[in-house]
Amino acid sequence: MTTTVLLVDDHPVVRSGLRAVIEAGDALVVVGEAATGEQAITLAGHLHPDVVLCDLRLGSGIDGIRTTIELRALDPAPVVLILTTFDRDAEVLGAIEAGAAGYLLKDVDPEVIVEGIRRAAAGDMVLAPDLATRVLKGMRSPLPKLTDREIEVLRHLARGATNKEIARTLFVTEATVKSHLAHIFTKLDVDSRSRAIHVAQETGLI
C-alpha cells in the first residue's frame, strides 16, 4: 500500500534531497512540496497526504509547531513527522504536544527517515531513544510558565543589558525590572542572572 508524503522545508535543496531519499523507498510517494507552513496547510487540504514531513523553522511565516496544530485540525488530518536540526527540550515537547507523531533530526541516516515515515503512517510514535527519555521527563516536569514580560526581560538579560537599560527599553522602573527578575529566579529555580540565561536557553524559553 502506497504512503503519500508532503514535504515542508524552506530550503529547495533540502526538499530535493528528501524527495530523492523518500522516493527511493518502496511504496513511498512525494505528492507535494511546500516552503512555508501556510503553503503546507493549503496543499494538505487539497492533496490529503498520509504523512507531512515538516521542518520546525520555516522562515518568516508560521513555525513547524503552529503548522502541526493546523494540519492536525484538518479533516482528514495527516500524520505529521518533524524533521529538523533543532533538538532543545522545549521544541521537542512542543511539537509532540501540538500533535506530531514523531521528531527526527536531520543528521540521521536516510534509512531512518524512510523508516520513520513508515512507522508514523502506521500509527507509531517516532522518537530517538534519547529524545523519548527527554520528552517523558518534560511531561513529568513541565517547563516553568513565564509571562510574556518575563520572557522579554530574559531576552534583554541575555543580550547583556543592565537593569537600568532594560527599564529604559520597556518603559518601566528599575524596581519593576528587579521584581520581574525575582519572579524569574523563583520560577527557574536559579540564583543568578547567568544561571537564569543558561536555563532559559537550554529549555528553549528564549
pLDDT in tens, 142-168: 667 889 899 999 999 999 999 999 999
Q: Are residues 94 and 180 in the same domain?
A: no
As a whole number, mean pLDDT of residues 71-95 equals: 89
**Mean pLDDT for the chain overall:** 89
What pLDDT band is residue 190 in, cutting at 50, 70 and 90? confident
For residue 169, the Cα-to-chain-centroid distance in whole angstroms is 29
Does the structure show a pLDDT above 60 at 138? no
What is the pLDDT at residue 127? 85
How many CB atoms sit inside 10 A of residue 140's CB?
7
Q: Which domain holds residue 156?
A: 148-202
Q: Are residues 93 and 162 in the same domain?
A: no
Please give the Cα distance from 85 to 169 (Å, whole number). 33
Q: Are residues 96 and 159 in the same domain?
A: no
2-42 residue pLDDT tens: 999 999 999 999 999 999 999 998 899 999 999 999 999 99
> CA-based Rg of the chain, rounded to a whole angstrom?
20
Q: Are residues 154 and 120 in the same domain?
A: no
